[in-house]
Chain A
């Protein structure tokens, strides 16, 4: 059993990580930090910096949670996250979400929404705390 965090560099990322870490610690499970980036562009805003991920790992080690980073290259982030959750038999999937206007959602779709609706396991949606 694991807790899987779908991570991408966004304002909600750090909050989502804290919640995922808290869940993993409470449940006594491993934590998988999953970063899905596109394999198409040369520079990808969804690609997480190594320094951030290393920071997460040390933070997890400090509270005694075994954490590891997984990078996935895929053009469709939602599918990749769901697939990874299945593979790890995740007990909980953690995603950071943000508000998006209805028009924005119509045009761009919402990865978080697709994950929420299609995941087999529990999903924890984390918002930026103001």
Chain B
């Protein structure tokens, strides 16, 4: 029961007025960006990353994890009330959620989704508390070869297995890797891709890349479709957000099933919460078909409860994978990894030993964040929906200013600003052509790790490539990867695509606004 003692210590560290304030600030910002379609937790963290240089590490980390969780709490509000999901993670919730709202049960739908998100977060975090140290112990046996395998696993999984089109996914990955290579090579001193520009000798800062890709790209994307569609109607949510006993009894199993589906997906670099939410939706739909009077399509409460719990459960276990293995499984988790690196910490097996205090305080903060988010979202969801009436021109102008300010603050260099604009333009072109952005971020953040572990492994073994497949862990990872690729090939050769996912993607494309970080 070491974990409980350490967790109690973590609560002791977090329960200070200042840290509690950061929990609340994170939850607040997270819900806000979650509610707004087009904004997401990854963008919020990217924009705030340069602002937190002076903050102490724990404060920044608990704020960012609050934003991560909050984004998944808020995303369903716009989906339920307006049929425009705040993020791709809420598409599955939107089908039944909006049907419930049209049927006059908007408060119940909002309550179900808030409690579902809470259940998912708490269950996943409890599991992380008990299993992350064990996982980290296992991972202490990781050498450079294992780390290379892990990074390769993340690269292939995010760009081919999960992505709509493997070709586009790999293209995005290559962009990211190329950006990660820019700068002077640390072991040989060779300047790579610097074009003799002195400002590039230090490489391109992660802040510049993430802000450009997530914020500037999104601003250009929104500007590019300005005036194509007007506002839509917001279904008013009247009445108290209480569930009746019957509704609660129907939603409870769906919440638990959703969390059960979501938790394993947090550990797989499968691009975040989108896939498990759809899996949960399909499960609930199939269970519903067996009933005497199927309710799906007319506002079934299970269709809201399941996906929402699944989405937040992934965020919880993604934190576990990040802390114990150093493996980011979503865009936002990748940015959290960058935050750790900014403070000179490397998430992974040694983090629990070297920075144990911060890790346990962070885990304690996750519990508090879930509670704060429930309080913010359960009664006040209709108020959050008022954010949707904000004129977008002001909002995106503000984001642009904030992005430029943050990028300039990191290096006080005009080259960074030019780079930000150029990369933002690249991100805009990529989005217009349906190239996913998450592989770029994963490649930029994990690229250096992959490169140095490969080199270490090679120099340790006297350039014997067989060292890469010499341990059970690497063999296991590579065979898992081969299985994943084989499954993808099989799935693509078979004509039948899972119907709901394909339809949902089409619907999302048709929607006026789509999530910025479609994979956070």
Interface residues of A in 41-62 (CB under 8 A from B): 41-50
Contacts beyond the supplied A42-B390, A43-B231, A47-B233: 7 A-B pairs with Cβ under 8 Å: A39-B231, A41-B389, A42-B37, A42-B82, A42-B512, A43-B385, A46-B231
SS class, residues of chain A in contact with chain B: loop
Cβ of B392 under 8 Å from chain A:
yes
Cβ of A73 under 8 Å from chain B:
yes
Cβ of B388 under 8 Å from chain A:
yes
Cβ contact within 8 Å between A43 and B226: no
Bits for B35-56, please: 1 = Cβ < 8 Å to A, else 0.
0110000000000000000000
Cβ of A38 under 8 Å from chain B:
yes
Q: Which one of A37, A40, A45, A71 contacts B391 once the chains associate, using CB atoms below 8 Å?
A: A40
B164 to chain A: closest CB distance in Å? 25
Query: Which residues of chain A are near B388, meaning CB under 8 Å?
Result: 41-43
Interchain residue pairs A-B with the least CB separation, the first 8: A44-B231, A43-B388, A43-B234, A73-B230, A40-B391, A42-B388, A47-B231, A39-B230
Q: Once the chains are docked, how many angstroms separate the CA of A73 from the CA of B393?
A: 15
A54 to chain B: closest CB distance in Å? 13
B229 to chain A: closest CB distance in Å? 8
Q: Once the chains are docked, how many angstroms separate the CA of A48 from the CA of B512?
A: 18
B436 to chain A: closest CB distance in Å? 23
How many interface residues does B have (CB within 8 Å)? 23
Cβ contact within 8 Å between B230 and A44: yes
Cβ contact within 8 Å between B82 and A43: yes
Q: Once the chains are docked, how many angstroms separate the CA of A71 from the CA of B81?
A: 21
Interface residues of A in 13-72 (CB under 8 A from B): 37-50, 71
Interface residues of A in 67-112 (CB under 8 A from B): 71, 73
A35 to chain B: closest CB distance in Å? 9
B402 to chain A: closest CB distance in Å? 19
Q: Residue of A at shortest CB range from B386?
A: A43
Query: Which residues of chain A are near B389, meaning CB under 8 Å?
Result: 41-45
B293 to chain A: closest CB distance in Å? 26
Q: Once the chains are docked, how many angstroms separate the CA of A42 from the CA of B81?
A: 12
How many interface residues does A have (CB within 8 Å)? 16
Interface residues of B in 221-245 (CB under 8 A from A): 226-227, 229-234
Q: Once the chains are docked, how many angstroms separate the CA of A37 from the CA of B234?
A: 13
With known contacts A40-B393, A41-B390, A42-B388, A47–B82 Cβ distance under 8 A: no
Query: Which residues of chain A are near B37, meaning CB under 8 Å?
Result: 42
| Residues of A in contact with B (beta carbons under 8 Å apart) | 37-50, 71, 73
Q: Once the chains are docked, how many angstroms separate the CA of A73 from the CA of B227?
A: 8
Query: Which residues of chain B are near A41, meaning CB under 8 Å?
Result: 231, 388-392
Q: Residue of B at shortest CB range from A44?
A: B231
Query: Which residues of chain B are near A46, meaning CB under 8 Å?
Result: 231
Cβ contact within 8 Å between A39 and B226: yes
A14 to chain B: closest CB distance in Å? 17
Q: Can you report 15 residue pairs joining A to B where beta carbons are below 8 Å apart?
A: A39-B230, A40-B391, A41-B231, A41-B390, A42-B231, A42-B392, A42-B513, A43-B82, A43-B389, A44-B231, A45-B234, A45-B389, A47-B231, A48-B233, A73-B230
Bits for B315-355, please: 1 = Cβ < 8 Å to A, else 0.
00000000000000000000000000000000000000000
Q: Once the chains are docked, how many angstroms separate the CA of A44 from the CA of B81?
A: 13
B338 to chain A: closest CB distance in Å? 30
B264 to chain A: closest CB distance in Å? 34
Cβ contact within 8 Å between A38 and B231: yes
Query: Which residues of chain B are near A42, meaning CB under 8 Å?
Result: 36-37, 78, 82, 84, 231-232, 388-390, 392, 512-513
Q: Once the chains are docked, how many angstroms separate the CA of A3 from the CA of B314?
A: 57
Query: Which residues of chain A are near B84, meaning CB under 8 Å?
Result: 42
Q: Residue of A at shortest CB range from B84?
A: A42
Q: Residue of A at shortest CB range from B512?
A: A42
Q: Once the chains are docked, how many angstroms separate the CA of A76 from the CA of B81?
A: 26
Q: Once the chains are docked, how many angstroms separate the CA of A38 from the CA of B57?
A: 43
Q: Once the chains are docked, how many angstroms separate the CA of A101 from the CA of B514?
A: 40
Q: Residue of A at shortest CB range from B235?
A: A49
Q: Once the chains are docked, how many angstroms separate the CA of A71 from the CA of B82?
A: 18
Q: Once the chains are docked, how many angstroms separate the CA of A20 from the CA of B196?
A: 72
Query: Which residues of chain B are near A43, meaning CB under 8 Å?
Result: 78, 81-82, 231-234, 385, 388-389
A76 to chain B: closest CB distance in Å? 13
Q: Residue of B at shortest CB range from A45?
A: B389
Q: Once the chains are docked, how many angstroms separate the CA of A45 from the CA of B230?
A: 11
